[in-house]
Each structure stands twice: as structure tokens, then as C-alpha cells.
């Protein structure tokens, strides 16, 4: 796919991936426009940068002057802009296809795995920047180091022949809808494999197979850095070995037991919490060393990283009238049981004497129903849990599964488990959508009633939906 024509239109430009790709095109001098279903902070930022953004999907948003249309995987064929592009015979490609084309132009480093991609992509990027390798970066979060953006352009002009110092592209490689099958990385980190995106995949076996397909896409002579501590990934060892032998790929397994001294040094020096982040940092360390980056540059970067947007992000103090307690509010993207357990465990270990209150907004009905048992056992490191209603994901919901009280059922299931589980979790509250406006009052009452002996508490707001908007109101 060639992107020589100047004008690109994005359907769903407000997405975390599409907005970053739109910024890449803009940085290369293309005329860029796009549409999104509703206004957001991202669409406002894109407008300020010179991108024409339409709110709402309409056929009139594009015409014959458009050379390419890029759409998110959530866009359906009946979308009016998609249909109009087809009528006008404008080439239409998906976001993964467009990003895949970029991976073939650069020396691409792709970060894959069910969990931890954004943080690891951020860390890998910052290490390469510190080493003077000047990468182009497309990441699924916002970084302070990128002025609050999800995109970082190389600072020097890119040589299409791949001879420039800034030949590196660092991306997240998402397995949802097998998006990463479109990518051709020079090097790949795989952090883990898990039962995720079960609205698309049938089972874990199918998910493992698509990861093998991704591994097969690594360029001949490339590098694979793999997590030995992840049992699902390690179970593919023999199959990976065959692919690597055929394509002359260098395979490097890392783990807490394999790299004991480095693991301990990272655990002692990182600012970001949790064993999962030590593992993510270890992956970055291993690939960076294989790229001959100096150890002092690696450790200096990893140990100074304060985290990314919505990844254990500190938001401020809980603001409530007549409330004297010091309550720190954090925001986190965790929406899968594995992520929830890892994040809560990390907080509990870092601040063992502080009351921990988790407010969780489930993301997508299918995920909650398919992993109901796992969710019911994911919150035991919190002192208190407040469950909100499910955030419904456009285009990914089955009407037959959209029960109104599934969050309430989860709350009841967790309460039943508490009787047989020796856990610090003592309070479980279901707060329906109609009562969300009272969250601040509910938090205040819980802290006063149950944790008055602990003058400092932590509230962690969790979910991949719009819970971050609620978080903002708590600290104002």
C-alpha cells in the first residue's frame, strides 16, 4: 500500500489508535480529516492541530477529493461514510491495514500481549529516545513525555530507504480481530496470552494460534523477546522454536527466575507499582540490551518513569465538603480480571497500611459474562469494592446478553465468596447508573463508617469505559 496521495479521511478518528495514525499522516504533510460519533478531548486536540473533524458520521463528510479512507474495526459496512467511499471508488482500508503498511516502511518494534502493551510500548520508546535512536512512536495511551500525546514523530527526516538514524517505529500490536496479523515487525515483545476478547475469539486455543501467526510475521533475522513466566505463552515454546528456526529469528526468553539479578534491581528501583510492571520493564531491558543500548541508559529511563495516562495515574485528593481525611484518587484502565488482580496487589504491597477502595466499571457485557468466575475472585486485595453498571461497547454487544443487573449479580457472587475466603475485602456495594452521581457521598460514608482508624485511604477507579470522567468529578 502506497500513501503518496495527499488527502486521508478517518472514520472513527477519535480512537486512541486512529488519532495517533492521523497525527502520523499530518506530520508527513498529508491533508487529514475525520469523523467521530461524539466530541471528546481527542477530537478537540486534533482540531487544534489542524485536522478537520466532523462530529457524527454522514455521507457529506467526504467527497471525491479524498484519496484514502481509513476506518476503525468498530465501523460497519452500513456506515454512511463507508458506503459513500465505496460509491466514489475511494480506496478503503482498516486501521490495522494502514498501520501494517507503516511497519513495512520502518524497522518496527511491536509490543504484543493481552496485558501491559501500552506501558511497555511507552518504556521501550523512552529507552530508545534516551539512546539517541529517535523512534517514531504510536502508543495506545497518552504520555507526559510526548506532551500528552499518543504519537511521537521522529525528530529528523525519515529516509524511506531505512538508512537514517530514526528508522525505528514502535507500536502496540493488538490481537483483537487479529489486527496484528497485518504487521511485519523487525522485533517483537510478547508479554502474555490470556482469555480476552471472547466476543471475537471462541477460546484460548484460538487466541494462541493467532499469536503464533503474529510470531510468523516477524521478519527473517529478526528478534523475539518472550515472557517465560506466562504459562500460556511458554506452552507454545516448541512451535515458536520451529518458526524461529525456519526464519532465522533470534528468540530470547525472559522471566523472574531467568534474570534474577536484573529483576531484583528493577523491583527495587521502579516508581510504577506491581510485579507485572517489573516483568514489563524486564522485557524492555532484554530487548534494549540485544540492541546494544547501554545499561545505564536503560535503568535510568525505567527507574524514572512515572506512568502513563490511565495506568495507575494519580488524579488528586478526594474533594468532599466537611471531609477531613486525606484520600488519594487514582485512575486505571484495568478491565480484565488478570489486570485487576495485578494492579490491586501492587497497590496493597506498596501501601499496606492504607485502606484501598476500588470503584470498578465493567467494560462490555460479553467480557463480564464469559469471565464472571474470574471477576468474582479478582478484588480480594481491596478493602472495599463499589461496582458500577457495565459500560456498553458500541458494535460489540449482543442484545441477548445485555442484562441490566449483571453488575448486581457480580456483587452478590463476590459477597458469597467472602464467607469462605479469608480476605481483607469486607464491603461490596453495587451502585446502579441512576445513583452514580452520588458516588462521592457513598465514598465519604464508607470511609467514615469503616476506615476511620486509617486516616489515609486510596481510591482506585478502574475500567476501560468512561469511568475516567467520573474520576475527574471526584477531585474537583
Between CA 445 and CA 454 the distance in angstroms is 14
3-state secondary structure 206-260: HHHHHHHHHHHCCCCCCEEEEECCCHHHHCCHHHHHHHHHHHCCEEEEECCCCCH
> How many other C-beta atoms lie within 10 A of the C-beta of residue 251?
16
pLDDT value of residue 12 = 96
pLDDT value of residue 449 = 78
Q: Which of 197-206, 232-241, 253-262, 420-429 has the highest mean pLDDT?
A: 232-241
Percent of the chain with pLDDT over 90: 76
What is the distance, to the nearest Å, from the Cα of residue 6 to the centroid of all Cα atoms in its chain? 30
Between CA 335 and CA 217 the distance in angstroms is 28
Mean pLDDT of the chain: 91
Average pLDDT over residues 60-78: 94
| Residues forming a β-bridge with 190 | 112, 226
Between CA 126 and CA 145 the distance in angstroms is 8
- Span 123-146, pLDDT tens digits: 999 999 999 999 999 999 999 999
Helix (H) or strand (E) run with residue 459 in it:
strand 456-462
| Residues forming a β-bridge with 332 | 462
Nearest CA to 130 out of 305, 9, 282 is that of 305
- State whether residue 139 is helix, strand or coil: strand
How far, in Å, are 310, 343, 374, 387 from residue 422 at the CA level?
30, 20, 17, 21
| Residues forming a β-bridge with 55 | 36
pLDDT value of residue 11 = 98
Asked if 431 contacts 388 with a C-beta cutoff of 8 angstroms, the reply is: yes
pLDDT value of residue 199 = 87
| Residues forming a β-bridge with 32 | 8
- Supply the DSSP symbol for 391: B
pLDDT value of residue 308 = 84
Say yes or no to pLDDT of 434 above 60.
Answer: yes
Question: Domains of the chain, with CATH numbers?
Answer: 7-93 (3.40.50.720), 106-304 (3.40.1190.10), 313-474 (3.90.190.20)
pLDDT value of residue 116 = 94
Please report which confidence band the pLDDT of residue 446 belongs to, taking 50, 70 and 90 as the band edges.
confident
Asked if 33 contacts 10 with a C-beta cutoff of 8 angstroms, the reply is: yes
Nearest CA to 111 out of 130, 94, 125, 126 is that of 125
Strand 313-317 with 326-332, pairing = antiparallel
Instruction: Cell numbers for 275, please give them.
Output: 510485579
Nearest CA to 34 out of 15, 57, 11 is that of 11
Between CA 262 and CA 475 the distance in angstroms is 38
State the residue for C-alpha cell 536484573: 262
Average pLDDT over residues 55-73: 95
pLDDT value of residue 402 = 56
Between CA 346 and CA 272 the distance in angstroms is 9
Asked if 382 contacts 356 with a C-beta cutoff of 8 angstroms, the reply is: yes
pLDDT value of residue 74 = 87
Between CA 46 and CA 254 the distance in angstroms is 39
Whether the CA torsion 193, 196, 197, 203 is positive or negative: it is positive
Give backbone dihedrals phi and psi of 168, rounded to 5 degrees, phi first.
-85, 140
Between CA 54 and CA 36 the distance in angstroms is 7
Print burial letters for 392-406: b (CB count within 10 Å at least 16), e (below 16).
ebeebeeeeeeeeeb
What is the distance, to the nearest Å, from the Cα of residue 226 to the centroid of all Cα atoms in its chain? 19
Nearest CA to 194 out of 99, 117, 308, 110 is that of 117
Report the helix count and the strand count for the chain, using DSSP H and E: 17, 18
**pTM (2 d.p.):** 0.88
- Supply the DSSP symbol for 363: B
pLDDT value of residue 401 = 58
More confident residue, 5 or 103: 103
Output the CA angle 225-275-329, nearest 5 degrees.
125
Say yes or no to pLDDT of 162 above 50.
Answer: no
Amino acid at each position: 500500500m502506497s500513501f503518496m496521495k495527499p488527502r486521508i479521511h478517518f472514520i472513527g478518528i477519535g480512537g486512541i489508535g486512529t488519532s495517533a495514525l492521523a497525527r502520523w499522516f499530518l506530520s508527513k504533510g498529508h491533508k487529514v480529516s475525520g469523523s467521530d460519533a461524539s466530541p471528546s478531548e481527542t477530537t478537540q486536540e486534533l482540531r487544534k492541530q489542524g485536522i478537520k473533524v466532523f462530529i457524527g458520521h454522514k455521507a457529506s463528510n467526504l467527497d471525491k477529493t479524498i484519496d484514502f479512507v481509513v476506518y476503525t474495526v468498530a465501523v460497519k459496512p452500513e456506515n454512511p461514510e463507508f458506503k459513500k467511499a465505496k460509491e466514489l471508488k475511494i480506496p478503503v482500508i482498516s486501521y490495522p491495514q494502514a498501520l501494517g503498511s507503516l511497519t513495512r516502511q520502518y524497522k518496527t518494534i511491536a509490543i504484543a500481549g493481552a496485558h501491559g502493551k501500552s506501558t511497555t510500548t511507552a518504556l521501550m520508546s523512552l529507552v530508545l529516545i534516551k539512546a539517541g535512536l529517535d523512534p517514531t512512536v504510536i502508543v495506545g495511551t497518552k504520555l507526559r513525555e510526548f506532551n500528552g500525546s499518543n504519537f511521537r514523530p521522529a525528530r529528523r527526516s525519515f529516509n524511506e530507504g531505512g538508512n537514517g538514524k530514526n528508522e525505528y517505529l514502535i507500536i502496540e500490536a493488538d490481537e483483537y480481530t487479529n489486527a496484528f496479523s497485518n504487521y511485519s515487525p523487525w522485533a517483537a515483545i510478547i508479554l502474555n496470552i490470556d482469555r480476552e476478547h471472547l466476543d471475537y475469539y471462541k477460546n484460548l486455543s484460538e487466541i494462541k494460534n493467532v499469536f503464533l501467526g503474529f510470531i510468523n510475521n516477524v521478519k527473517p533475522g529478526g528478534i523475539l523477546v518472550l515472557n517465560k513466566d506466562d504459562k500460556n505463552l511458554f506452552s507454545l515454546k516448541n512451535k515458536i522454536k520451529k518458526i524461529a528456526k525456519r526464519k532465522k529469528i533470534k528468540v530470547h526468553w525472559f522471566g523472574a527466575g531467568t534474570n534474577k539479578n536484573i529483576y531484583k534491581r528493577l523491583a527495587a528501583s521502579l516508581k510504577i507499582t506491581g510485579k507485572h510492571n517489573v516483568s514489563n520493564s524486564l522485557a524492555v531491558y532484554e530487548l534494549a540490551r540485544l540492541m546494544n543500548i547501554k545499561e545505564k541508559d536503560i535503568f535510568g529511563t525505567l527507574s524514572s518513569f512515572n506512568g502513563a495516562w490511565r495506568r495507575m495515574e494519580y488524579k488528586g485528593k478526594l474533594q468532599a465538603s466537611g471531609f477531613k481525611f486525606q484520600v488519594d484518587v487514582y485512575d486505571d484502565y484495568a478491565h480484565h480480571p488478570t489486570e485487576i488482580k495485578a494492579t490491586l496487589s501492587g497497590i496493597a504491597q506498596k501501601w499496606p497500611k492504607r485502606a484501598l477502595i476500588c470503584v470498578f466499571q465493567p467494560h462490555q457485557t460479553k467480557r463480564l459474562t464469559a469471565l464472571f468466575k474470574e471477576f468474582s475472585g479478582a478484588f480480594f486485595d481491596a478493602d472495599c469494592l463499589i461496582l458500577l453498571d457495565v459500560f456498553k461497547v458500541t458494535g460489540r454487544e449482543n442484545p441477548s446478553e445485555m442484562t441490566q443487573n449483571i453488575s448486581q449479580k457480580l456483587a452478590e457472587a463476590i459477597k458469597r465468596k467472602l464467607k469462605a475466603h479469608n480476605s481483607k475485602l469486607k464491603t461490596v456495594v453495587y451502585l446502579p447508573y441512576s445513583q452514580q452521581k452520588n458516588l462521592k457521598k457513598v465514598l465519604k460514608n464508607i470511609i467514615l463508617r469503616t476506615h476511620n482508624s486509617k486516616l489515609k485511604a486510596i481510591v482506585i477507579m478502574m475500567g476501560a469505559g468512561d469511568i475516567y470522567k467520573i474520576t475527574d468529578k471526584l477531585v474537583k
